[in-house]
């Protein structure tokens, strides 16, 4: 059985996966409300102003790590379900705290190695509340991944 890394990063699939992930991020940010939503939208728009391609480039960069981080969950999911009988998004959501921390560890490492202070400041502004948003996006992320797996 192919790994998520192999499936999502196949040369003919990867550009579509990246585009779908960018759309997912944009939609998730747009749907946010309240004080946290305002902070995330401000950080997102700041990043876009500094570098209009940053979100796309970041997704492109972290996709391999994301696929690797989600691989154990994919293996657990496929051991219990088939792609046609189960919902990977629901599977991830049932483990939301653990999965969200695994995904945020990827962006935390990127932040720690960044030399772009404006991007780091924007990330640090929202990091404390990010787990809630990541957890909320897991059903949509799982559905997106399952589409290509």
Show the domain range for 26: 4-148
Question: For residues 102, 107, 108 and 109, what is the CA-based torsion angle, rounded to 10 degrees?
Answer: 100
Per-residue pLDDT at 82: 72
| Number of independent structural domains in the chain | 1
Low-confidence ranges of the chain (pLDDT < 50): none
For residues 67 and 135, what is the distance between their CA atoms, to the nearest angstrom? 17
Q: Give me the pLDDT at residue 83, please.
A: 63
Q: How does pLDDT run across 103-120, given as a tens digit for each residue?
A: 999 988 888 888 888 878
């Amino acid at each position: 059985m192919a790994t998520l890394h192999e499936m999502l990063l196949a040369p003919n699939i990867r550009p579509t996966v990246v585009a779908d992930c960018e759309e997912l991020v944009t939609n998730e940010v747009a749907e946010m409300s309240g004080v946290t939503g305002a902070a995330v939208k401000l950080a997102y728009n700041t990043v876009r102003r500094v570098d209009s391609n940053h979100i796309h480039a970041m997704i492109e960069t972290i996709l391999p790590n994301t696929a690797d981080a989600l691989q154990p969950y994919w293996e657990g999911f496929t051991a219990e379900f088939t792609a046609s009988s189960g919902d990977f998004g629901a599977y991830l959501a049932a483990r939301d705290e653990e999965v969200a921390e695994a995904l945020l560890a990827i962006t935390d490492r990127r932040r720690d190695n960044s030399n772009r202070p404006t991007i780091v400041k924007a990330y640090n502004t929202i990091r404390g509340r990010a787990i809630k948003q990541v957890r909320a996006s897991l059903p949509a992320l799982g559905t997106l991944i399952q589409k290509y797996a």
